[in-house]
Chains A and B, each alone.
Chain A
């Protein structure tokens, strides 16, 4: 018998195939490949991108020249544009606004072929710290209500560029999924006066069956309600609503758990594409951080999403998270 499980945060139901769970070798995913060609994000090609916004670079090197370790540039084809006032308006029954926002590309490393698992802990830490620096800077713009940090790795996960990169998008409104999570967590908090995510961490640590890795400050686990097989959540044990407030002690621990989780995943699924997204509290509003808890949602791209999922919002998970976690723990 398969199981229907309800997400305690957003209330979403998913179908978990506990009957005949798919084993790792049964997934027919599209492997990540390199097309090659000239990459505008590689070391030495700095002139091929729009001028950099910020970088971590060797002393005495000038912007837009070699000598960098992490580099942030504006997206050449931005989904949103930085200039202009937000102009919300209606057209008959429809509501719209101009597309004001920021869209930046963060180059995690100068090396085209390296992914997070090839980098040292310090290198990962460096680009994670840049996530925070960019957020702190973008928050100053009061038009923005949400900062979205996400990574598409591999063409199957929607990446159009090969060079290891993360995207940072500042939005003038809080996106739907974030709003749902926040509402769910708020509802739980009003009822119990406790953070839902803190309770979840407590239960996961007790039950242990969905945990992949744990260190002093972070937990990496397969959520009870996953939408995708081998979906992973990385969450700080200490309660905080905002990612960018991560402490100097937590940052290296995050770099290590992120890197080690990806190494485990790579052992099971070589060359699999993936997405990850940082979920954090909205900014420049009346958001209360008491009930929300930032975390990273990590989704390997192993399956194709079909009509049932699109039409219903109910996902069918071929491998129960307990089994995914076991495979990952033992990898």
Chain B
């Protein structure tokens, strides 16, 4: 009998289609026809091919936009949102709109031409994490922005382009995005009722039952969420409560890098290098104004959501927001636990 499961944070129902489920190893990525690779503008020595850098880690203090860097951040050449101008909120009859103000940056995670973050060292990923934090703190200074979303597209099916050089993206938005708002509202609601953080409760239950646990190392856990939308969806959460990713302590960055690399490496090895997306969900900028609440420090808990792109999202999912996951997360977690990395 298939199961209907409800996400405890935002209340979304998913169908876990146990009856027709394939074995976990039958989900491995197909050798899809990836389009031809473009010459890479992100490798060391090609600095002039990108817009001028915003940020870089240069251990020998070389000049900007020249070789000798470990990591670089540049503006997107095709930004969704632009940095210059005012928001100019307005109405048009029934409809509301504002100017597309925001920031859109590309984090080039290494000077080597490596495609998958899973193949970087823990130390290099720790630098990427430190960079995420620095960029968020810098963008927070711009009072027009409400939220910063850090995300990654790996592989064509995950929306990445023709350049195969591992990178992440950062987008600062002048509104709180819908998905984030739903989580914030759901977490606050749970807190009002239980006076506990929903994510802390979730971590406790996952550590107890262990059915959906992928990794439990160094203060972090990786799990297959109870109401997974996609096969092999994985979340990484810090065991210690914190609503804000930027509060991450120095020592903890390497620990986060380790669990992130291991989780990505398990996906790569176990599922034939599948395309994937990940996003970091953290608290919005703390600005005492409309829409901000006092309990957020207690009720919200930052985390990373990893979504391998092994199945296609169809009309049913788009229209209803009701996902059919063809693999029980318990089976996905068991499979990933057993992949040695």
Contact = CB atoms under 8 A, between A and B. Distances in A.
Given A171-B322, A307-B279, A311-B149, A93 B314 contact: no
User: Sorted from nearest, which 5 A-B pairs have the closest CB atoms?
Assistant: A158-B314, A306-B159, A311-B279, A275-B315, A99-B2
A115 interface: no
Interface stretch (A41-49, A132-140, A172-180, A286-294): A172-180
A95 B186 CA distance: 14
A18 B81 CA distance: 11
B156 A304 contact: yes
Contact of A151 (B3, B205, B315): B315
Contacts of A172: 4
A80 interface: yes
A208 B266 CA distance: 53
Contacts of B281: 311
Nearest to B168: A307
Interface stretch (B8-16, B61-69, B286-294, B333-341): B8-16
A79 interface: yes
A159 B178 CA distance: 28
Contacts of A177: 319-322
B178 A313 contact: yes
6 contacts: A8-B96, A12-B178, A15-B81, A78-B19, A307-B153, A308-B151
Contact of A4 (B11, B99, B159, B178): B99
A39 interface: no
Nearest to B82: A1
Interface string B1-38: 11111101001110111011000000000000001000
B124 interface: no
A200 B226 CA distance: 39
Contacts of B157: 304
Contact of A157 (B96, B171, B315): B315
A187 to B, nearest CB: 13
Interface residues on B, range: 35 or more
A203 interface: yes
B245 to A, nearest CB: 13
A30 to B, nearest CB: 9
A97 B278 CA distance: 29
B183 to A, nearest CB: 10
A276 interface: yes
A276 B173 CA distance: 30
Given A99-B2, A311-B180, 9 more contacts: A2-B99, A2-B100, A151-B315, A156-B312, A157-B312, A176-B322, A308-B169, A311-B149, A312-B171
Given A12-B178, A94-B8, A175 B321 contact: yes
B143 to A, nearest CB: 17
Interface in B136-179: 147, 149, 151-153, 156-160, 169, 171, 173-175, 177-179
B249 interface: no
Among A151, A157, A178, A304, residue most surrounded by chain B Cβ atoms (within 10 Å): A304
A310 interface: yes
B85 interface: yes
Interface string A81-124: 10010000000111111110000000000000000000000000
Contacts of A159: 314
Contact of A77 (B20, B169, B173, B318): B20
Interface residues of A, number: 76
A3 B100 contact: yes
B228 interface: no
A167 B2 contact: no
A227 B321 CA distance: 13
Contacts of A11: 178
B1 A81 contact: yes
Nearest to B159: A306
A277 interface: yes
Nearest to A312: B177
Contacts of B3: 96-99
Contacts of B217: none
A325 B198 CA distance: 44
A307 B158 contact: yes
B82 A2 contact: yes
A167 B313 CA distance: 15
A136 B164 CA distance: 52
Interface in B55-108: 80-82, 85, 92-101
Contact of B6 (A17, A95, A167, A310): A95
B307 interface: yes
Nearest to A171: B322
A167 B316 CA distance: 9
